[in-house]
Chains A and B, each alone.
Chain A
């Protein structure tokens, strides 16, 4: 770090020019990345549901209908000639849409009862856009504008999974722009206050620009080889800004501290690099590890956060450790130009955080008991977390697609659009095995939660044939094979929907089958996520432990950091379940509780929040360790460490929380949850954990904090991370680091050599 610091000072213009070139190139190449990003990536290709859907498309050119027109009339019923005429026309129009592969309706099927509402005044037109999530997303574009509204005697509303998906992504996109527009001015004001001057406040923005624009280039490169989710952009901007502020604050504070201590610009900068620079490099590594663990999941959606997260952390780290020092070298003491105020620093031992630490350490046990109890109570609801997939109810009640789907829930007890497909895996001769198919369909229709089973041999409900095969039934079979459609009577994306999938899969089939559909997607996604979760957690725990051990050289401190992090995160998750699953505060926050939490969100939040918490932990522990190494006094080290990092971590956490809280203004409840959850995680960690549990536990453990078995201590001495010490001899004129040592290696037999004398 010392050499890097000197290099950056010597070559500051070169470094800055390089950064500028990088920014321009990354902007030019990565700027257009959004077009190449995918709105999907939630499914895994090898899951049963995905294979079933692919087979259905390949062999039968069909699948679950994902476009739905709700046709309602105020005049008479849906069989009135004028209404029927419009209904048939709408069906033809929909079928003629280039994106639509098939379309049918109550009217085109000759008055199919399941497609008529219970009030007799509404009926459905169903259509399907084939392909992956991106093709569906592109295909649905503009349909709401074309079909929604009054059409002669009827009112048309557009619903279905494709429109819900489009509405959620559109809303999320505009909400995020709103959130950024809201948080930016507030962030700028806070930056001015925290950095104490116009010039200084501009520095984190430079680092943020490098991190965010650089990550766009990283994502652009990834799009050349794999699918990348569009949601990765949101993580990029939020974390890019957040980490740039964190890291810049750490560097700038230390630099000012060294200048105030009387050092010249060069010495102050070198010392800053040796201390804060090293801590940041290390902290960026721990955050990156936490985010990279998302790579163990096969879904492109989660993997994209790993690409964006590690990219943005690495670039924010490089920006803060390489570009920022070069900027400081150019600015010198002008960093305080246009300063808002010149507050003299509080002398060591008199700061608020010092007093907090001393007070807590006076009564460690009661503090631990009370705070842990509080966090456990907060975390309690987490134990009953119900994971699901988001549906239209993540939108507010006045969203058009939400209104349509709410009407569907009210008027159509059977969920036609949520039908599950049971697809034969191999070849099936439908004529020879008609009896087997009928038997199987009958058994499927007996399962709880099934409204109706449609098969090539007829329509089945409650374990009996309801109606024989009609022309429509031919779609369930061809020369090669067959499939069955199972219409549920339960909400597809719910615990009942999941139970239904399990029950259907358990029904003995006459041939190998694959169960596909929305509920099956949910079941398979959960299975994959839960199977990989322990691996991701294991990687995070082991690597973080190893990294922290390399930093502090003891066993207890890293273990404690991990446990405290988990405690703070479970409290955050508990609060999130209490709010978003149970629906408390749903009025204030304006969302509809669906009784489930999106299955991807906790995993994503865990990895992001864990990384950010570790970030603060590393800042704090590195300073405590620095003090402990000098005085070997545990309590003193904790109090001084907390005091020295107190202002920085407080400011950084508040700024980061502000960036996240802006997300809570979103009209999509999943985005609200992520924003509030991460803000809460950061605040709990920065204030509750840091102010109470860290000092209390450090005090209680005493010297044991720093213990490690001799073998590990040696290992740490050899490979651990040590702070560069300031060596005055290196500042002497003509002093240089010896690259090659001259002369002989000294006396040949050291045992016999004369003892040197003249002690100093």
Chain B
């Protein structure tokens, strides 16, 4: 049970050679073995969505996937959203919109919402407001009452289309 398997994860375009027990979930592997603690663990039973990451472009609950299942797949986490710009770190339109619209309070659920929205908007830039609210209901937030999250995602969607 405790024997470790050597695997390689590709996260935000970078390779991580790690050794994990087969039972180690992807969230723990990202956090503990890759040092990417931006992915948060809120329930470990697939309801809250705080651990949402993109696996081959699709939003996935990292607590419900084993790390060994993520071999050979492209994983994206919140740490990969912002880019290096001319004058330092350039926030992703979603990050910028969450900031402008007060889409976060404690910030614990935020990485999960950002990755969920990023995955959905990349797949369907023209998603309707109603559909987007439905998608955002995949994740839980206990601070904001959701309205500024919804507002921020809408604003970011418009911004991303312009780009």
A binds B: no
Which residue numbers of B lie inside 8 Å of A, CB to CB?
Answer: none
| A interface residues (Cβ-Cβ under 8 A, vs B) | none
